[in-house]
Structure 1
């Protein structure tokens, strides 16, 4: 007997005594379990579905389809929830942005108002300064007229003026001119103006 014949005999023996009875037992057990109402195909299909090569050959079970659909639904629900949360966050951020824009507009309005107020104040200050300057120029002009006048005429006119105007002119004169004008006044008038001029100097 050659080596090939021996191997062939061993394989035949294994096939005859182990594999065939094993297949027969599996078939009998499956029939008994099927008759008892047990779904024999389910675990086989589940195992085959998890095996990479057999996965392509075994049709998908109803349970695995349902599980896959449920998983897909859960994922969709999760994504929809995330989208809803993000939309809510976007709405909150948009509201904050609108509030910020409103505050910026309000601040810009205040800045414009303050600028306008500052310009008006500057204008008033300039006008006041100009008025004061014009007033001082007029006063100097009037004082210069009285400086060039005869002391007697100046004394008679000054006594007719309002007290403040008269004192402004007298204070603008030199001591010599003041003395000459006061000597041309009555003693009462000269005393009154002297007293006022002394009080102003203090």
Structure 2
């Protein structure tokens, strides 16, 4: 029992003689250094921050905050750079599509102009052919009428009576009044009446 008391007494002695003055010295030294402008807590915080269990208990130092902030900024910068790269790529694709569309529009416009020119040429050719045909028909009609003008009225009346009504009227309208009267006189009364009505209607 007395042995235990002796050990306890020795421990107290060691505590009072060595440990307490040491703690006092550490505190006093820390205060002096702090007053001199030295951050005493910084190395302790850094050492504690590297220890897995103590890391959660120790508040972040300015350096750790700066490191964390820099890492976050770097991450944001990388994300922004990736977004910019993607958008540039998209713009490039859109520009290529636009160029393709422009060339396609130019090709279609050229095709339209070509078709319009072809249609205009065909229209012109058709008009020229129509005029030629019309002038040819007029020349042909004049020639036929001149034949009937020189023909005997009796013979002319018989032939005209056999023709289609449209052709007969063309010839009769091209004759002089005297020749017309002679030819109608040689026709049957029914034929003469029919042609007279038609000639009168066409001249109104």
1:1-202 → structure 2 map (5 Å cutoff): 33=40, 37=44, 78-202=80-204
Deviation at 1:30, TM superposition (A): 9.4
Q: How big is each residue's C-alpha offset from its partner over 1:92-150, in whole Å with a ceiling of 9 and x where there is no partner?
A: 12212222322332233233223222322322222222212211110111111111222
What root-mean-square deviation, in Å, do the aligned CA atoms of Structure 1 and Structure 2 show? 3.6
Q: How big is each residue's C-alpha offset from its partner over 1:129-179, in whole Å with a ceiling of 9 and x where there is no partner?
A: 221221111011111111122222222221222211111000011112111
Aligned residues: 158
Partner Cα distance (1:156, 1:70) in 2: 116
Partner Cα distance (2:123, 2:110) in 1: 20
CA separation of 1:144/1:62 partners in 2, compared to 1, >3 Å: closer, same or farther? same
**TM-score w.r.t. length of structure 2:** 0.60
Deviation at 1:34, TM superposition (A): 8.2
Structure 2 runs not aligned, ≥5 long: 1-31, 47-62
**TM-score w.r.t. length of structure 1:** 0.61
Partner Cα distance (1:195, 1:33) in 2: 136
- Please list every run of at least 4 consecutive aligned residues from structure 1 whose deviation after the TM superposition is greater than 3 angstroms: 29-36, 61-81
